[in-house]
Structure 1
């Protein structure tokens, strides 16, 4: 299995193949996940800084698309997590919708605000909450891993040490999965069509003075077959920005990221009108590469920030402070194994 995954990574790095579109498409999501993990700093755990981990996260970044079609309520809650439909000023759906800069604390409160504005939740999407939830889950994963890793190193009882080792390995598998899930939603957030009311051709409900395409094939054609044909791992990595890790505030960072993508909606439609996504036109390839690189850069940063946040976390029951366990001043056995 590992060989097949690594072989797929090599194919992507070499130029990839056109694959069936879904969200960014398989190629786009793989590339974002792989590039983000390959860009991790040395402060991250060693098990993440390997070709196998990069390939694994790349594959798992596709998972929220692969699990569609489970029925209700499964699909209702998950399908609307892939997007948020914004107008130009960052309000959701229309001028009466809540601003992405002032999102309620809870998704349930967000749903209520949409309903109060006469907006259907299914139409609006809740991508910012999916990103924030995924980030917070990864912080908890990392906090648990830190405690297990520190305890395994110091534990002298063979039975307890073996359990710590096994649970650490279980947690590493969960970390890769949750990195993949977060990677999917961050990746969705870098695709302009996932942040706008013009998600599949220019909306027919608003004026279109520039004569932008209204084709319902626009979205899928760009993120799927086109990106699968032109995207390359080396180009995405070369286009990634330097890490931005200072002054982090999750509730400010996520809207700012999505608004940066929103600003690319009109440039996309201008480029499409100018024929920039035609066969052999370098402009379209550059646009796709820049968007994939934006997703990979943000994802890399969120992985590092989650790792840093986990150092100040508490975990388990009764809760223990990660910093105290890593310092060797607290025994986490009951917190981790449980006392019933």
Structure 2
């Protein structure tokens, strides 16, 4: 959920607090949980088995809700993190009046992005920085998988009892951390399949040219991503729309820009459907729209996880010098100091 819909969310929260306990947790949670679970259940068999258990899928689904459950932690915490959930792309395809949202013009770091927005009188806390949330989480997952590969190898081959015990325990810690890191990151990948997280028209059409007379209701965002999703979305229906993994042969930056750019294309169809009275649970068009968007999120999450796993095969750990997975599995390098610590 975007911070810009806090007023509506506050009203919804009051209603949720008065509702039965079984429904109180569903607000803003149903879709994120579903994206996480469906993606995890769609992982191919060549990924580590610990990620493909029903327990891992359930945990990923719950962790996918976590960034919304963090809200209200405090001013510093929330101010820094709230903008991680969205990117306001305007009608000219610019990031809140800043650079065009293309692979060629996407600033390479958040610092560069901040400079580009400052030049036009804005900042990333207003414009959002969702692409960087996704790229950051992917890079973390690659590193997690790299450590996992190395720990799995040395846990099986180490002869020293003390070292072996540490490796076995650290492998379990890494698996637990991987599920957590993947699950939390799933939230942002899921956000990116929700059209109203990628547009300046996030809370009603807003103060922009509106020749088609789209709604100005500030309830549209929350109603769409919360109650409507809960009313119509079913895991099996969403999972049926998830295709097999396809290697894009591209960087995470390219995959992210393509994914978010595709989502932007659903902003006006969403408003058109609302104007026609179709954004309600009783209209089959609403279910079709919701299912397709959730499946898009689950598909991208699954594909990005697979990409991260593949990239980790050539990953490195340590510092001056770094060592690779192959260095360890071939016996060329001893990872003890890099895993346990050498200082």
Residue in 1 aligned with 2:214? 212
Secondary structure of the structure 2 residue equivalent to 1:339: coil
From 301, 323, 327, give the equivalent of 2:326.
323
Residue in 1 aligned with 2:75? 72
Q: In 2, Cα distance between the equivalents of 1:195 and 1:18?
A: 28
Residue in 1 aligned with 2:297? 295
Residue in 1 aligned with 2:171? 168
Q: In 2, Cα distance between the equivalents of 1:190 and 1:334?
A: 42
Q: In 2, Cα distance between the equivalents of 1:56 and 1:158?
A: 32
Change (3 A) 1:156 1:312: same
Q: Which moved more, 1:327-336 or 1:220-229?
A: 327-336
- Residue 21 of structure 1, CA deviation: 6.7
Residue in 1 aligned with 2:193? 190
Query: Following superposition of structure 1 onto structure 2, how do residues 25-64 of structure 1 map, counting pairs within 5 Å?
Result: 25-64=28-67
- Give the number of equivalent residue pairs: 319
Q: Which moved more, 1:146-155 or 1:80-89?
A: 80-89
Change (3 A) 1:19 1:187: farther
Q: In 2, Cα distance between the equivalents of 1:50 and 1:165?
A: 20
From 227, 230, 250, give the equivalent of 2:229.
227
Residue in 2 aligned with 1:308? 310
What TM-score results when the alignment is normalised by the length of structure 1? 0.91
Q: What per-residue deviation string (whole Å, max 9, x for no partner) do you get for residues 272-294 of structure 1?
A: 11111224111101100000000
- Residue 249 of structure 1, CA deviation: 1.0
Gaps of 5+ in 2: 1-21
- Residue 100 of structure 1, CA deviation: 1.7
- Residue 234 of structure 1, CA deviation: 0.3
**Equivalent residues of 2:228, 2:280 under 8 A apart:** no
Change (3 A) 1:39 1:19: farther
Q: In 1, Cα distance between the equivalents of 2:304 and 2:90?
A: 26
Residue in 2 aligned with 1:5? none
Q: What per-residue deviation string (whole Å, max 9, x for no partner) do you get for residues 54-76 of structure 1?
A: 00000000111111122232111
Change (3 A) 1:21 1:215: farther
- Residue 326 of structure 1, CA deviation: 2.4
**Equivalent residues of 2:35, 2:186 under 8 A apart:** yes
Residue in 2 aligned with 1:238? 240
Q: In 2, Cα distance between the equivalents of 1:36 and 1:301?
A: 9
Q: Which moved more, 1:292-301 or 1:178-187?
A: 178-187
**Equivalent residues of 1:151, 1:331 under 8 A apart:** no
Q: In 1, Cα distance between the equivalents of 2:277 and 2:71?
A: 33
Query: Following superposition of structure 1 onto structure 2, how do residues 140-159 of structure 1 map, counting pairs within 5 Å?
Result: 140-159=143-162
**Equivalent residues of 1:85, 1:196 under 8 A apart:** yes
Secondary structure of the structure 2 residue equivalent to 1:104: coil
Secondary structure of the structure 2 residue equivalent to 1:73: helix
- Residue 325 of structure 1, CA deviation: 1.4
**Equivalent residues of 1:57, 1:177 under 8 A apart:** yes
Q: In 2, Cα distance between the equivalents of 1:241 and 1:86?
A: 28
Q: In 2, Cα distance between the equivalents of 1:122 and 1:246?
A: 31
What TM-score results when the alignment is normalised by the length of structure 2? 0.90
- Residue 18 of structure 1, CA deviation: 5.4
Residue in 1 aligned with 2:280? 278
Moved over 3 A (4+): 17-22
Q: What is the RMSD of the two structures over their aligned residues, measured on CA atoms?
A: 1.4
Residue in 1 aligned with 2:3? none
Gaps of 5+ in 1: 1-16
Change (3 A) 1:60 1:233: same
